[in-house]
Amino acid sequence: MKTRITEMLGIKYPIFLSGMSWISVPEMVAAVSNAGGLGILATGPLNKDETRESIRKIRTLTDKPFGANASLLFPGAAESAKVLLEEKVPVINFALGKGDWIVREAHTYGGKVMATVVNARHAKRAQDYGCDAVIATGNEAAAHGEAVTTFCLIPSLVDALNIPVIAAGGIADGRGLAAALALGAEGVAMGTRIMTTKESPLHQNYKDLSRKLDVTDTLYSRRFDGLWCRVAKTDAAERMRKKGLDLPAAFFNAQDIAKNLKLPFIKLFIGVMLSGWKGAKQMAFLANAFKAIRLATENGDLDKGVLPLGQSAGLVHDEPTVQELFDRMAREAEEIQKRMSGIFA
C-alpha cells in the first residue's frame, strides 16, 4: 500500500498502533512495526527512566520505524517528552497540550511529529506548529474522541489541512481502512482492534470480554477521567459514571502516581492545588482513572477495572497475530477497491 504516510515514514501499511497505557508497551510496539505498521509507545504511566528504557528495548526488538506518545496534560509528561527527543525517537505523537517545542526539537534530528486532535481548530494549530501530520480521533474511538464522528471529522480536516490526516475511531478491519482512505485519510490508527491480538498484553479477561461486546456496549462520559471518554460498558464503569469524582480515593491514588513517576508527592500536590479548582479536579479524575484502567489492563479485574474501548469492539470476533490482522486488512481493502472499480466502470 502506498500513501503519503507510508512514503513519509517508510512503512508497508498505513496502520498505526494507538498509544494505550499498559498496552502499547515495547513488545507490542515492536510487533506492530515488524508487521509493517507503526507501533507507538504509551509513555503516560512511565517515569522518565522507564521511558528511556522502553525506547532502548524497542530498538532491540525491531529495526523498523516506531513512535512514542506524550499526553502533555499528565504529570511527568513533559519530562518523558524530553527523553523522546534525547533518544531521537523517529515519530513523536503528542496530545492534550501545546507541543510546538516538541516539533522544533524533533525536526532538528529529522524526527516526525504528529498531534492528536478532535477538531479543526486544534488541527490547524498543529499544522501551524509545523506538525508533519495529525491523528484525528472521532467520537467512536476509545477514550478521548469528542462530538464529531469519524465519517464527518476526517473529510472536514482533509479539506482544512495540507498535512496528512490519520483516521482514528471505529476502524477494525479492511472495510474501515478502505473507508478512511476514501474519506481522504492517509492512514488509520487502531487501539480497540489491536488490543485483542495474540501479542497484546491486555489481560485475557478483557480480551474475552471485548469479543463478546456489541457496537452499543460502551459508555461515554466525562465522569471517568474528567475528559469526554469512552469505555467498555461494565458494572464497574456504570458505578464510576454514577458516582463521579471520588476525592478521598483520588488523594491516595495520586500518591501511587507520584511514587511511580518518582515525583515528591508534596511537590505534585502543591502543583495541583496551584492550578486552581478546575485543574485540581481534572488531576483527581485522572488519578482515579489511572487506577481503574490499570486494574483492567494488567490485573484483568472485572469487578473494579475500567477499560477504554471503542465502538469497534463490536466488530472484533477473533484474536489473530498482528501480522495476520494487517495482512487480512490489506486484502480486504484491496477487494473493496476492486469492487468499487467495478461499480464505477
- Give the domain ranges of the chain: 4-202+316-343, 214-297
* Nearest to 81, CA basis, from 60, 57, 59, 111: 111
Strand positions, DSSP E, the chain: 15-17, 39-41, 66-71, 91-95, 112-117, 133-137, 165-168, 187-190, 218-221, 229-232
315 DSSP 8-state letter: G
Mean local confidence (pLDDT), 280-289: 80
Strand positions, DSSP E, 50-177: 66-71, 91-95, 112-117, 133-137, 165-168
* Nearest to 328, CA basis, from 204, 194, 235: 194
The pLDDT tens digits for 236-277 are: 999 999 998 877 787 667 667 666 766 666 666 566 555 676
Alpha-carbon gap, residue 163 to 299, rounded angstroms? 40
Alpha-carbon gap, residue 161 to 165, rounded angstroms? 8
Alpha-carbon gap, residue 64 to 51, rounded angstroms? 19
Is the model's pLDDT at 13 over the cut of 60? yes
Is the model's pLDDT at 345 over the cut of 90? no
Per-residue model confidence (pLDDT) at position 101: 97
Which three cell numbers mark 267?
Answer: 511537590
Length of the chain: 345
Point out the least confidently predicted range of 35-49, 67-81, 157-171, 301-315. 67-81
Mean local confidence (pLDDT), 34-52: 95
Q: Which residue has the higher pLDDT, 97 or 153?
A: 153
Mean local confidence (pLDDT), 190-205: 98
CATH top-level class of 4-202+316-343: alpha beta
Beta bridge partners of 135: 116, 166
Alpha-carbon gap, residue 278 to 328, rounded angstroms? 46
Q: Which backbone phi and psi does 337 adopt, to 5 degrees?
A: -60, -45
Alpha-carbon gap, residue 324 to 13, rounded angstroms? 13
Are 345 and 337 within 8 A, CB to CB?
no
User: Which is it for strands 91-95 and 15-17: parallel, antiparallel or unpaired?
Assistant: unpaired
* Nearest to 332, CA basis, from 216, 178, 144, 149: 178
Residue 146 burial (C-beta neighbours within 10 Å; 0-12, 13-18, 19+) = middle
Alpha-carbon gap, residue 105 to 86, rounded angstroms? 9
User: Which is it for strands 91-95 and 165-168: parallel, antiparallel or unpaired?
Assistant: unpaired
The pLDDT tens digits for 94-147 are: 998 899 999 999 999 999 999 999 999 999 999 999 999 999 999 999 988 999
Is the model's pLDDT at 167 over the cut of 90? yes
Please give the share of the chain, as a percent, with pLDDT higher than 70. Answer: 92
Alpha-carbon gap, residue 199 to 330, rounded angstroms? 19
Are 151 and 311 within 8 A, CB to CB?
no
Is the model's pLDDT at 24 over the cut of 80? yes
Is the model's pLDDT at 79 over the cut of 80? yes
